Structure 1
Amino acid sequence: MKTLTDHLVQYARYHRDRRNIATHFVGIPMIVVAVTVLLNRPAFDVSGVPVTLAMVVAALSALFYLRLDLALGALMTALLVGSLALARMTDSLPTAQWAALGVGLFVVGWIFQFVGHFWEGRKPAFVDDLMGLLVGPLFVVTEAGFALGLGKSLEATITEAAGPVRDGAVKAPLS
């Protein structure tokens, strides 16, 4: 299995334009919450405990993140728990409102992603590797850490391998 650095470098190669990265700070959290909301209905009884598909996906994702890095994995797990809590708050909404919220967040989140990739001039990373769907949220969290001055060594390794983040002009259509 790839290391944390391997995953982040591969993902970063598709994300070197500051505007694209900025759209990911909006779009990816929207998509994560949307998927969590949509997978949080219905709950199934497992030995007297209500379990949702959202909980299963969050637990498997948390295991993936924890295996890559304990500290980042713990932070990602906390964020996933927060997403589950937000999803739980939507459970009492009428079905039409719940579905509109989940689908709306999902669609708008992906619009942000595709606008960013238009600016980048590259297709999204998940097109070439489905793991990009799991690495995206981790990328946003690490980029936030870098902006706060954390993880300088990891940031330098990624920059060396993927190239510097740049301010850019619109490039050719998604290639």
Structure 2
Amino acid sequence: MTKLEQLLSQYAAYHLDQKNIYTHFIGIPLIVFSIICLTARAGVIISGVELTLALGLLLASTLYYLSLDRIFGLIMLLIYALAYPFAYRIAQLDTAVWLSLSIGIFVVGWVFQFVGHFYEKKKPAFMDDVIGLAIGPLFVLAEMVFMFGFRKELEQRMLAEARKQRAAMDAQTVSLN
């Protein structure tokens, strides 16, 4: 099993209910976008180019995703390249407007997340492993790719392992009660 399969399976074990996955299609992009908005205001100008904290975070996460899978990493790079200019514009707004928009988007994103986990009847994956915060966006991308009919072998391997992990989690919960 590749590192990508391992991480996606671990995340998917908390996300087997389709309603939960659908809420993540909205919640996770909103959360990521809000973080880009919040961090696009902090930066330095070097040789006439503004380098923001958001760009650093996007670069680091893109490199991480590329290390796991070139195709997913390149798609994430494209998504980030499209999202960053909008987030940067928001970051240039008046402080109160910037914070209100960024925090509002963040809160709405988390509302979607927790509604999804209400359907799932499982806590979010990051509560057991903080790497879930980084894998969430990749999981949403992978689920979208799977919905379009691509990388079905990866999906099948991921789901098989996720179901095993979920059964083990459920068995552990029963034994604790």
Q: Does the pair score TM above 0.5?
A: yes
Q: Which amino acid aligns with 1:97?
A: V
Cα RMSD after superposing both structures:
1.4
Aligned to 2:117: 117
Compare 40-49 and 97-106 and name the one that shifted more: 40-49
Partner of 1:167: none
Q: Distance in 2 between matches of 1:29 and 1:80?
A: 10
Match of 1:129 in 2: 129
Which ranges in structure 1 are unaligned for 5 or more consecutive residues?
165-175
Q: 1:147: how far off?
A: 0.7
For the residue of structure 2 that corresponds to 1:45, the secondary structure is strand
Structure 1 residue 125: Cα displacement: 0.5
d(CA) in 1 for partners of 2:161 and 2:141? 19
Q: What is the rounded CA distance, in whole Å, between the counterparts of 2:79 and 2:115 in structure 1?
A: 25
Q: CA deviation at 1:47?
A: 4.1
Structure 1 segment 20-59 matched on structure 2, within 5 A: 20-59=20-59
Q: Separation in 2 of the partners of 1:21 and 1:109?
A: 13
* Counterpart amino acid of residue 158 in structure 1: M
| TM-score w.r.t. length of structure 2 | 0.88
Structure 1 residue aligned with 2:175: none
Q: How many pairs are equivalent?
A: 163
Q: TM-score, normalised by structure 1?
A: 0.89
Aligned to 1:171: none
Of Structure 1 and Structure 2, which has the larger fraction of its residues in helix? 2
Code of the residue aligned with 1:40 in structure 2: it is A
Mapping for residues 73-88 of structure 1, pairs under 5 Å: 73-88=73-88
The residue that corresponds to 1:148 in the other structure is: 148
